[in-house]
């Protein structure tokens, strides 16, 4: 895909999903968006005690496109799974007694 086409596609994804992330390894790339609460909840239930199941649910629901080998080949999937927490952003505030 030409760089111009990819730039337009990424802009469309950002408009629809907000943040878009690229994961690259060995010349392969995939694109993911940040998961919503519903996806994180489903991943937490399915992946209870199994981090790979958690990552699989996140990847399935947040995958925008790219080289399928990154989620089909175990070597790449495990590497991507180890990075999945970077798209599951959690912001923690502070509770103060008033």
Summarised one tens digit per residue, pLDDT across range 14-67 is 999 999 999 999 999 999 999 999 999 999 999 888 889 999 999 999 999 999
The span from the CA of 50 to the CA of 87, in Å, is: 18
- pTM of the full predicted structure? 0.86
Helices vs strands, H then E, count in the chain: 5, 3
pLDDT score recorded for residue 91: 83
> What is the CATH class of 3-86?
alpha beta
What are the CB-based long-range contacts (under 8 Å, 24+) for 49-56? 51/81, 52/77, 52/78, 52/81, 54/84, 55/80, 55/81, 55/84, 56/81
How would residue 4 be classed by pLDDT, with cut points 50, 70 and 90?
confident
Q: Residues in the chain, how many?
A: 98
């Amino acid at each position: 895909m030409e760089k111009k086409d990819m730039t337009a596609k990424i802009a469309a994804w950002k408009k629809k999903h907000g943040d878009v992330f690229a994961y690259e390894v060995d010349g392969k790339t995939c694109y993911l968006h940040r998961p919503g609460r519903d996806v994180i909840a489903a991943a937490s239930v399915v992946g209870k005690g199994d981090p790979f199941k958690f990552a699989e649910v996140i990847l399935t629901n947040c995958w925008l496109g790219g080289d399928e080998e990154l989620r089909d080949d175990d070597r790449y999937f495990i590497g991507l799974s180890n990075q999945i927490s970077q798209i599951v952003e959690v912001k923690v505030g502070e509770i103060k007694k008033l």
